[in-house]
A and B are shown apart, each in its own frame.
Chain A
């Protein structure tokens, strides 16, 4: 956490470099409205990406369910399911792991009183 100030400074500098084309962009005619739009679009995109990354890490860390709670059989892996979340900075789509019990024909995924429920 103590790194935050450092990270913020470094990221801001990266964004400034990107927006100013490392000093090569002519900013003399840049209107405030355009400046805000560009900055917020970029920052929002980063925010969405960060939220997605943290959510995926959170899913990685959640409790594994190796066996079906109904019949006790081992669960099979299924391809992850795409989930969409409306955040304050736009929609974030992330992959949610899914397990399946072929005997019960039931899919299991990390949920419960999680985000947005």
Chain B
């Protein structure tokens, strides 16, 4: 029979599991850093048990919130962090990662002609964060920052987003079909290890405290979880609130359903991705592409997306090439559908964030453990996702969990029947 672990050991196992890319790596870390010999499988079992308990806690918290009368849901709870909202903005960001989840088809023989099953599912993640905010009488930065007009800086980032999203996911961002995948990501170093070389930091408000909620359940569930988290963080009292995401329709459904009083903002870099695609489709060479791109990026940056849409309309009228028309139509659709969320000049004036780079880096951190072409999850997916979200959360929900758990381990034990 497997030995029981002390809570102290469990804490270390969970820390290793959530920061490693696999259970084997977690086991190695424990051996190397803590002289603990615990097999990878055992690490995973322990993490799954703890994660499941965290999922149960989360569900309980959700039920408690939703049982509150509506006026009470709009109040600031007693456990909300103290402190005012001067020079602070409450921000909710939403995005998706990916993981392979087994279902009842696993191990079943395929019927003749049946397609190879796909196991990829979307992990839905929301970041509930505070940012420093400084409002201005007018746009403090009407000119596009140098780095955004530097192809060597911008194009790799755009390509990364495009590569990560894949074709059919990009289509979902434009249309209204239900989301399944799509995991745009930026170089997390640009946000997390910001230094003098990092221009993103200079025109983005500084993030303060982030907490993360995540689930494999539908997007609506994510919205409810984010709402509860925002409630406990006391976001109701914030004077400035923003909701940032890419163009996925589910993101904006969450915003309209649960965060309707938040300013909806489309991630700037996602907008640039479509601008760049359109420029690439109509230009004859790279030089012309970049010149067009610079103009359209400048308009987008200045909150004049209508000018970009007009320019695209003009190109659409003049073009008969099918593939070009398709790309132009896609970009135009994206920009048109999101135009109300692209008032970047106004957002900068109000001190609101205009990129979801911090969210993208959060997704990357979660994907490190959850996502992999060789990783197939069954029951453990949701518990592990929960633990990964907990680990990244700067509100440290795991500390409360361990504390609560320790309180029940008093040593005053009654005899009970052997299981």
Contact = CB atoms under 8 A, between A and B. Distances in A.
A34 to B, nearest CB: 16
Interface string B92-104: 0000000000000
Contacts of A115: 4, 6-7, 409, 411
Given A63-B415, A113-B409, A85 B34 contact: no
Interface string B398-419: 0000000000110111111110
B413 A85 contact: no
A74 B3 CA distance: 30
Contacts of A46: none
A108 B416 contact: yes
B417 A106 contact: yes
A84 B3 contact: yes
Interface in A29-65: 58, 62-65
A56 B74 CA distance: 52
A69 B412 CA distance: 18
Interface in A92-112: 98-99, 106-112
B26 to A, nearest CB: 15
Counting chain A CB atoms within 10 Å of each CB, the highest count among B5, B6, B409 belongs to: B6
Nearest to A97: B415
B116 interface: no
A107 B34 contact: no
B3 A65 contact: no
B160 interface: no
A116 B12 CA distance: 13
Interface string B184-224: 00000000000000000000000000000000000000000
Contact of B416 (A58, A83, A87, A109): A109
Contacts of B411: 58, 62, 114-115
B237 interface: no
A87 B418 contact: no
A10 to B, nearest CB: 26
A85 B38 CA distance: 12
A112 B412 CA distance: 9
A17 interface: no
A116 B7 contact: yes
Contacts of A108: 415-418
A28 interface: no
B10 interface: yes
A85 B5 contact: yes
Nearest to B3: A84
B8 interface: yes
B36 interface: yes
B12 to A, nearest CB: 8
A86 B5 contact: yes
B9 interface: yes
Contacts of A84: 1, 3-4
A65 B414 contact: yes
A88 interface: yes
Contacts of B1: 84
Contact of B415 (A86, A91, A99): A99
Contact of A88 (B36, B408, B418): B36
A113 B407 CA distance: 10
A88 B8 contact: yes
Contacts of B36: 86, 88
A41 to B, nearest CB: 10
Given A113-B408, A114-B409, A85 B414 contact: no
Given A113-B409, A114-B409, A116-B10, A86 B3 contact: yes
A69 B4 CA distance: 26
Contacts of A110: 413-415
Contact of A112 (B5, B416, B418): B416
A71 to B, nearest CB: 12
A21 interface: no
A26 interface: no
Given A58-B411, A115-B4, A88 B416 contact: no
Given A86-B6, A106-B418, A115-B7, 20 more contacts: A62-B411, A62-B414, A65-B414, A84-B1, A84-B3, A85-B4, A87-B8, A99-B415, A106-B417, A108-B416, A108-B417, A111-B414, A111-B416, A112-B414, A113-B413, A114-B411, A114-B413, A115-B409, A116-B6, A116-B10
Interface of B: 1, 3-10, 12, 34, 36, 38, 408-409, 411-418
6 contacts: A84-B4, A86-B38, A108-B418, A110-B413, A115-B409, A116-B6
